Chain A
Amino acid sequence: MMQTAIRISHVTKVYRTPFRRRATVALRDLNLEIAPGEVYGLLGPNGSGKSTTLKIILGLISATRGSVTIFGRDNSVVAARREIGFLPENAYFHKFLTGAETLRFHAKLSGLPRSETRARVDELLATVGLTDARNARLSTYSKGMLQRIGLAQALIHNPKLLVLDEPTAGVDPAGSRDIQDLIASLRNRGTTVLLSSHLLTQVQEVCDRVGILHRGRLLREGPLQGLLSIENQTELVLENASPDLLDGLEQQIASTSARLIARRKAQASLEQLFLHVTESTEE
């Protein structure tokens, strides 16, 4: 039997404020399983419990009830975190360190052998496009650069599971596209990715499965295709279709019990337009 990457069983989290009677229930009886090699998107509005779920998985906070396992190990065991890379939301890291120093520091924390550290740091700085900024202190980095160095530190020990909290927050569309491409390449290499995001189109592009959290409850969960498809509707996208062909199709549809809902030009997304315009200007 294949071991699950993450198993969350009946997790409830209640935050109690000292000297106050009222408690806040952040998660209610959450059950979730993520398979190895899967890219899973956790969606939900602010305060829905996304960050709480990620923090419980990482052992930064403890669940009031329930249990979590990472590749079969209880998440409270420190060794379970050997397999995890984590990018926190709006991470700042040590501003007084340079990019290369930051990666070397996290390599030591992750237990990466000394002999491999140098090559790995160089490789990751190149992967996230920060080779030129390797000796600049993080206090001089832009938001997008910080996010990229954050991603590099999460990947430093080649983790089997990558947890990303709002990975594209504050990143421009080109940087955001790079991160999405990186996630796709990690999936191809068999890395499991759990990400939380507000940006639905990005989640749609990279995730195999999604879960929608609201007020601490998992309202919907499943493969993206299954969740998004409308059972009784079909979409046809044609290239170089003549007006005569389209009129003919419309007439044929009208002679049946089916109903044509819309006939329009296929449209690019705003992100595709932005990337096309900016990339062609650079060329």
Chain B
Amino acid sequence: MIASLRRIRAIAGTTLIELARLRVFYVLVLFALVLIVSSTFLARISFQQELQVTKDISLGAINFFLSLLAIVATAQLLPRDIEDRVVYSVLAKPVPRFEYILGKFLGVLGLLALSLATMSVLCLVVLHLREQSALQEANRQVTQLAPDQLSSTLRSIHMAGINRDLIAAVVLVLAKSAILAAATLCISAFATSNIFTITAMAMVYLIGHLESIAREYWLEHAAGWVTRTFLAVVAFIFPDLQAFNISDQVIGGIPIPAHLIVQLLGLTTFYVLSYILLATAIFYQREL
């Protein structure tokens, strides 16, 4: 049977409504508070540092809240549908299980994209306002600065403010959250409780962030074939989530090469597809 986009869209749309009506968007209010409160109380050392710290806090908060949303929102989708027997009336229709899993994933992805868009706009507005106030102040001091000194100050303010790499960093946050959501769906396809799924995902999150450090250390100190095989298996199963964190380079003004972004998006596609396929295979075996 050929997949029906209409059915997948219906399941994704309903999942998005479900998550929206469950008020998971409250996390965005928390984000706004973190951003506004922290940027208000920032100690002003220099314009560039102020903008850099605002960017650092914003990207850190976006990363944290979106990862949290991806895991918590996805973990409850399948168990809730099974507990409420909604899954019976859905799968008794001509709906293949892969359409159901894909629809659920796309619904969560929609929620993540909407949340990310809201947080990014808020972050960009705060940064823009800070940047403008920094530029105005620099212009006021124009009489005290030499012309080459002034143009260098303005350039550093622009570099520390909104730029192309900031958008790339935000896109990679979404990519990382998509991987986390797909992995959560995969675990919840066989898990019997939300707590198990969330705990397992906390471990996946931890391994994903620490594996690059562990790999570096082990390859330096004990590079036998057993260690290498083990590291290869871990690297294959768990994505290197730390690789998606390019905020340090963005804040430091180090240009991000385009091929790195393409590589990371390719990796995202691979892991998302693999986890979705695995989730579908597990769900096909599940007795409802």
Contacts and interface: CB of A to CB of B under 8 A. Distances in A.
A96 B23 CA distance: 11
B271 to A, nearest CB: 28
Contacts, number: 85
Contacts of B22: 96
Interface in A100-119: 105-106, 108-111
Nearest to B284: A62
B166 to A, nearest CB: 36
A110 to B, nearest CB: 5
A174 to B, nearest CB: 25
B1 A93 contact: no
Interface string A55-66: 100111110000
A78 interface: yes
B17 interface: yes
Nearest to A57: B92
Contacts of A61: 287-288
Contacts of A154: 89
A281 B89 CA distance: 37
Contacts of A12: none
A150 interface: yes
A97 B21 CA distance: 9
A236 interface: no
A60 B95 CA distance: 11
Interface in B1-49: 1, 4, 6-7, 9-11, 14, 17-18, 21-22
A81 interface: yes
B10 A91 contact: no
Given A97-B14, A105-B14, A86 B287 contact: no
Given A81-B93, A89-B85, A106-B93, 5 more contacts: A15-B287, A62-B287, A78-B95, A109-B10, A150-B89
Interface of A: 15, 55, 58-62, 77-79, 81-82, 84, 86-97, 105-106, 108-111, 150, 153-154, 157, 163
- Ranked 6 nearest A-B pairs via Cβ: A86-B92, A108-B10, A88-B88, A109-B93, A96-B21, A92-B84
24 contacts: A58-B88, A58-B91, A58-B92, A59-B91, A60-B287, A62-B287, A78-B1, A78-B94, A78-B95, A81-B93, A86-B88, A88-B85, A89-B85, A91-B89, A92-B86, A93-B86, A93-B89, A105-B14, A106-B89, A109-B7, A109-B94, A109-B95, A111-B4, A111-B94
